[in-house]
A and B are shown apart, each in its own frame.
Chain A
Amino acid sequence: MNGYGKYFGKKIGWYLVTFLFAVVLNFALPRMMPGDPVAGIAAQTTQGVTNTAAAEKIYKEYAEKFGVDKPVYVQFLKWAGNALRGDLGVSFSQYPRPVADILKSSMGWTLCLQLPAILIGWLLGNMLGAIAAYVKKGFDKIILPVFLFISNIPAFGMAVILLFIFSLRLGWFPSSGGYGYDLIPNFSWTFIRSVVAHYQLPFWSIVLTTIGAQAIGMRSMAIYELNADYVKYSRFLGIHDRKIVRYVFRNAMLPQITGLAMSLGTMMGGALVSEIVFSYPGIGTTMMAAIKGQDYPLLSACTLIITLMVLVANLVVEILYGLIDPRIKASQMD
């Protein structure tokens, strides 16, 4: 299994390099913004202070606190060192709340929402796509155009549509928030029931959008495989249809797994925006608040967390791929 170790080591090394690069971008880009956000906060405190010397002193204090008075590379090293210890600085817009504190709660919401939704949507989509490719007549005729249209509705659009139908018109589910606005998070039945009710619409909106895109991809992959020579040969040999379908499904699945790794970032981006529609207390909504409040420590922490989540998910998918794909398995065995 030495070959596998090498394969995974290479992958992990590559992801580390990418992550480092992403960290630098995360630090540098928001700080290139014209205008001085610290001046904004200082101005709030110095309102009414007529003494220029006093105002300047307050500004300097803030500048020191946020570390913007030092050269950029010192700022970066300090920022990176703090980030490693889980200290992501202090939020500007929710001063003096630490960024890590804000993110801790929103990250949980986002993970619990998006991870199951994307996975279930991906699985269901692939199954439907394979069925559509295999059955073809009738079923394919209905499913394909429907999913082709659904997959072109952006995630936030699906969110709005579900919200309109199931919350506004039918009143089945609550329209916004992660739990009832009159509740305090705790482990009681009322709270859990409220969370589950609030979970439905955001969850299904992500599942539906994911299904659409995956089903189409899987359908064309499976059609491609069904026309492959090995299928025809197996038919000549008289191998049972069900067994052939299993081979086809497995082979068509492999590119779909790579596809999942490639499009995870895009999917998450879409799902984050649909959080905004529901005012779901996840990273998407936090990010919008950070943008509105010109809060770059919070924003760059959000993007950093998203990058980290996407990278980790990608790495997991690639490792799984390495374990599943017989070709990689074979090349590592040599």
Chain B
Amino acid sequence: MNTIRQVFRSAKFVTGFVIFIAIILLTILFPLFITYDPLDVVGNGNFYPPGTYISQKDTIKANPYELRIALKQSNVGDSLKTDELDKIKEWLTQYGGMGKSEVQDADAESLIVMWTDKYNPSKRFRGMLASEQKYYKRLNQKLTELLTDKDIIIAEQDENNELKEKSKVKSSDFVNLKEISNKRTLVLGTDNFGRDVLRELVSATTTSLRIGLIAGVVATAIGLTLGLLAGYLGGFIDDLILFITNLFTVIPSFVLLILISYSVGQKQRGVGLVALIIGITSWTWTTRAVRSQVISLRNRDHVNLSKLSGHSSFKIIMTDILPYIASYVVMAFILQVSSGILSEAQLSMLGLGPATTSTATLGLMMNWAMLYSAHLNGSWWAYFPVLFMIAMISFSLNLMNTGLDQVFNPQLRD
């Protein structure tokens, strides 16, 4: 009890603990409120940016309100492509008599103002190719169309396939968002399949946490058992276990992970199996730590006393040794959970992640984002939240670990 109180007095541990609990609460509470399937395909295209999506048809049908607010012209700038803007800049410096520095950093809006001020469509420019002249004329036309606020006519097709005017949309017409029934807010947009990233992220976090937990339990169980056996029994068994442990410490576990994951085959590789494989390739640290701890404990007086009293080895290990190494085991377990989550992510990025279509993991989300070049086409919402989640989980776990370390190794205290 006292130790636990001491642990919770460590600022680092508490910070990590709070973040971790917040993540767990998110994975529990979020699905209670947003109940649709995390892998539902919402969008028909890929990588829709974050935002609130409202039905276009609904906005047309909705009751218009006339508002007297100055309209922003920024949408004119948005509908111009970057190469068109570059062309405008080029013209302004060459024929418009503007300085290079004035034009270079100007935004689209002020460029358009400059353009309408200087450009004269009936004038011919010397030294310009005919095709260029035509290009600028077209560009100017496009701009004037964008700038004049003509009403947009909404028409319907009648039975003779003729268009009949139904209503006009003025530029001062507004729609109340509350009156639109069909809308969906995609806080983090959609991924390459058109799934809601936020919903998918929460479900992926749940799965990844589960993978980390299974991997951590497996690794700790193996490491603890081997470490206890080697340290307590000594002799030949110790030599053998130490040999195997050293072997697997030097052979990179990353390589083993790849080889085993590959050899089980694509179809068999479920979430549970991947977690298990991560677990059985990452126990060496625990074994080493436990073994050296047990060796230092083995000849302590209380253990010898227990031996003299005729207690069985099992009982001695359980009552006289385990309590002393519990803190080490807990710390190793925490680290293994965090490295398990990271290992899953790395495996998935190589294409060896869980081969399921029914669940998402953080690594698989990352893998899909990379495969569809989200990192090259600027769809940050498809991978930054995932990265942030991975970093937050491992940050919180490591903080907890550092906090524990400072409580149990007083020399490290600041």
Binding site for B on A (CB under 8 A): 14-15, 17-18, 21-22, 25-26, 29-35, 136, 148-149, 151-154, 156-157, 160-161, 163-164, 168, 175-176, 220, 223-224, 227, 262, 264-266, 268-270, 272-273, 276-277, 284, 287-288, 291-292, 296, 299-300, 303, 306-307, 310-311, 314
**Shortest Cβ distance from residue B24 to the other chain A in the assembled complex, whole angstroms:** 17
Most buried by B among A154, A220, A307: A154
B345 close to A (CB within 8 Å): yes
Task: Give A163 to B375 CA distance when docked, in angstroms.
Answer: 8
Task: Give A156 to B376 CA distance when docked, in angstroms.
Answer: 14
Q: Are B262 and A314 in contact (CB under 8 A)?
A: no
Task: Give A34 to B253 CA distance when docked, in angstroms.
Answer: 22
Provide 15 A-B residue pairs closer than 8 Å at the C-beta atoms, listed in order of the A residue: A17-B247, A22-B251, A25-B251, A34-B265, A136-B414, A148-B398, A149-B395, A151-B398, A152-B398, A156-B366, A157-B390, A287-B350, A299-B262, A307-B255, A314-B250
**Shortest Cβ distance from residue B320 to the other chain A in the assembled complex, whole angstroms:** 28
Q: In residues 157-197 of chain B, which contact A (Cβ within 8 Å)?
A: none
Known: A29-B262, A154-B391. 11 other contacts (CB 8 A): A29-B260, A153-B387, A154-B342, A264-B252, A265-B250, A268-B252, A268-B254, A273-B349, A287-B258, A288-B351, A291-B352
Closest-by-CB residue of A relative to B249 is A262
On chain B, the number of residues with a Cβ less than 8 Å from chain A's Cβ atoms is 46
Q: Are A292 and B351 in contact (CB under 8 A)?
A: yes
Chain A residues with CB under 8 A of B414: 136, 223
Q: Provided the pairs A25-B259, A291-B351, A303-B259 are in contact, do residues A152 and B391 lie with their beta carbons within 8 angstroms?
A: yes
Most buried by A among B251, B258, B259, B370: B259
Among the listed B247, B255, B260, B391, which residue makes an inter-chain contact with A157, where contact means beta carbons less than 8 Å apart? B391
Closest-by-CB residue of A relative to B252 is A265
Q: Are B351 and A227 in contact (CB under 8 A)?
A: no
Among the listed A21, A154, A223, A306, which residue makes an inter-chain contact with B345, where contact means beta carbons less than 8 Å apart? A154
Task: Give A175 to B374 CA distance when docked, in angstroms.
Answer: 12
Closest-by-CB residue of B relative to A303 is B255
B305 close to A (CB within 8 Å): no
Q: Are B262 and A296 in contact (CB under 8 A)?
A: yes
Q: Are B346 and A273 in contact (CB under 8 A)?
A: yes
Q: Provided the pairs A34-B268, A154-B345, A160-B375 are in contact, do residues A269 and B254 lie with their beta carbons within 8 angstroms?
A: yes
Main secondary structure of the interface of A (DSSP, over half): helix
Main secondary structure of the interface of B (DSSP, over half): helix
Q: Are A224 and B254 in contact (CB under 8 A)?
A: no
Q: Are B390 and A307 in contact (CB under 8 A)?
A: no
Chain A residues with CB under 8 A of B249: 262
B411 close to A (CB within 8 Å): yes
Closest-by-CB residue of A relative to B386 is A157
Can you list the 10 inter-chain pairs with the closest CB atoms, starting with the nearest? Answer: A265-B252, A269-B254, A29-B259, A152-B395, A157-B387, A152-B394, A34-B265, A29-B263, A32-B263, A291-B351
Chain B residues with CB under 8 A of A164: 375, 380, 384
Chain B residues with CB under 8 A of A17: 247
Closest-by-CB residue of B relative to A307 is B255
Chain A residues with CB under 8 A of B20: none
Task: Give A85 to B230 CA distance when docked, in angstroms.
Answer: 40
**Shortest Cβ distance from residue A5 to the other chain B in the assembled complex, whole angstroms:** 22
Chain B residues with CB under 8 A of A314: 250
Task: Give A17 to B264 CA distance when docked, in angstroms.
Answer: 26
Binding site for A on B (CB under 8 A): 246-247, 249-256, 258-260, 262-265, 267-268, 342, 345-346, 349-352, 366, 370, 375-376, 378, 380, 383-384, 387, 390-391, 394-395, 398-399, 402, 405, 411-412, 414
Among the listed B247, B258, B349, B380, which residue makes an inter-chain contact with A303, where contact means beta carbons less than 8 Å apart? B258
Task: Give A21 to B402 CA distance when docked, in angstroms.
Answer: 35
Chain A residues with CB under 8 A of B345: 154, 156
Task: Give A35 to B264 CA distance when docked, in angstroms.
Answer: 10
Q: Are A306 and B255 in contact (CB under 8 A)?
A: yes
**Shortest Cβ distance from residue B318 to the other chain A in the assembled complex, whole angstroms:** 30
Chain A residues with CB under 8 A of B247: 17-18, 21
**Shortest Cβ distance from residue A132 to the other chain B in the assembled complex, whole angstroms:** 11
**Shortest Cβ distance from residue B28 to the other chain A in the assembled complex, whole angstroms:** 23
Q: Provided the pairs A157-B387, A163-B375, A223-B414 are in contact, do residues A307 and B252 lie with their beta carbons within 8 angstroms?
A: yes
Task: Give A308 to B202 CA distance when docked, in angstroms.
Answer: 39
Chain B residues with CB under 8 A of A29: 259-260, 262-263
Chain A residues with CB under 8 A of B342: 154
Q: Are B256 and A25 in contact (CB under 8 A)?
A: yes
Chain B residues with CB under 8 A of A306: 252, 254-255
Chain B residues with CB under 8 A of A220: 405, 412
Task: Give A300 to B414 CA distance when docked, in angstroms.
Answer: 47
Closest-by-CB residue of A relative to B243 is A17
Q: Are A160 and B263 in contact (CB under 8 A)?
A: no
**Shortest Cβ distance from residue A73 to the other chain B in the assembled complex, whole angstroms:** 18
Closest-by-CB residue of A relative to B339 is A266
Q: Are B412 and A311 in contact (CB under 8 A)?
A: no
Task: Give A160 to B378 CA distance when docked, in angstroms.
Answer: 11
Chain B residues with CB under 8 A of A157: 387, 390-391
Closest-by-CB residue of A relative to B250 is A18
Q: Are A300 and B259 in contact (CB under 8 A)?
A: yes
Q: Are B250 and A311 in contact (CB under 8 A)?
A: yes
Chain A residues with CB under 8 A of B390: 153-154, 157
Chain B residues with CB under 8 A of A296: 262
Q: Are A160 and B262 in contact (CB under 8 A)?
A: no
Task: Give A226 to B268 CA distance when docked, in angstroms.
Answer: 52
Chain B residues with CB under 8 A of A148: 395, 398-399, 402
Q: Provided the pairs A291-B262, A291-B351, A291-B352 are in contact, do residues A223 and B412 lie with their beta carbons within 8 angstroms?
A: yes
Among the listed B250, B375, B399, which residue makes an inter-chain contact with A15, where contact means beta carbons less than 8 Å apart? B250
Q: Are B346 and A269 in contact (CB under 8 A)?
A: yes
Most buried by B among A21, A30, A152, A272: A152
